[in-house]
């Protein structure tokens, strides 16, 4: 009697391993330096987590009023904020992991998250 090449159990195990590989790949293998997500902080506390590939407009409440944040095409920026010098708006679009824009007067900030960020910190 010849044994079959695969037993039923071997086949199941192979299938399970393949599924696991594909699932883990999808879950963990991001485009590493480029962030797919951003976090909005108010007063240093997390206010929202954003998917950068889901275009949207946000009105984020701070002590001076609402900061207007736009997500478009994998990038995020301050469009307007109730602060005197608009440094947050001038920071422009953010897309690289670790990039950050801050409206200090309204205590709102947005930062790009990445699994292996291009930058740990930004000097300016």
**x/- map, 65-84, other proteins, by CB under 8 A:** -------------------x
Give the range of 50-58, 64-72, 100-108 binding other proteins by CB under 8 A: 100-108
At residue 42, the 3 state secondary structure works out as: strand
Distance CA(44)–CA(90), nearest Å, equals 21
- Taking CB under 8 A as the criterion, the residue among 35, 44, 52, 58 binding other proteins is 44
Among residues 7, 19, 31, 51, which is the contact residue for other proteins, using CB under 8 A?
7
Q: Which stretch binds other proteins (CB under 8 A): 14-22, 52-60, 64-72?
A: 14-22
Q: Select from 109, 103, 106, 108 the least CA-distant residue to 64.
A: 106
Residue among 15, 21, 22, 79 that touches other proteins (CB under 8 A): 21
């Amino acid at each position: 009697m010849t044994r079959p090449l695969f037993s039923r159990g071997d086949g199941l195990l192979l299938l399970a391993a393949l599924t696991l590989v594909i699932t883990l790949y999808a879950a963990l293998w991001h485009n590493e330096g480029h962030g797919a997500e951003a976090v909005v902080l108010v007063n240093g506390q997390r206010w929202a987590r954003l998917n950068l590939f889901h275009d949207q407009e946000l009105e984020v409440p701070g002590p001076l009023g609402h900061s207007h944040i736009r997500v478009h095409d994998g990038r995020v920026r301050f469009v307007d904020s109730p602060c005197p010098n608009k440094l947050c708006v001038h920071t422009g679009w953010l897309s690289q992991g670790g990039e950050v824009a801050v409206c200090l007067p309204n205590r709102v900030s947005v930062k790009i998250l990445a699994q292996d960020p291009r930058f740990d910190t930004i000097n300016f």
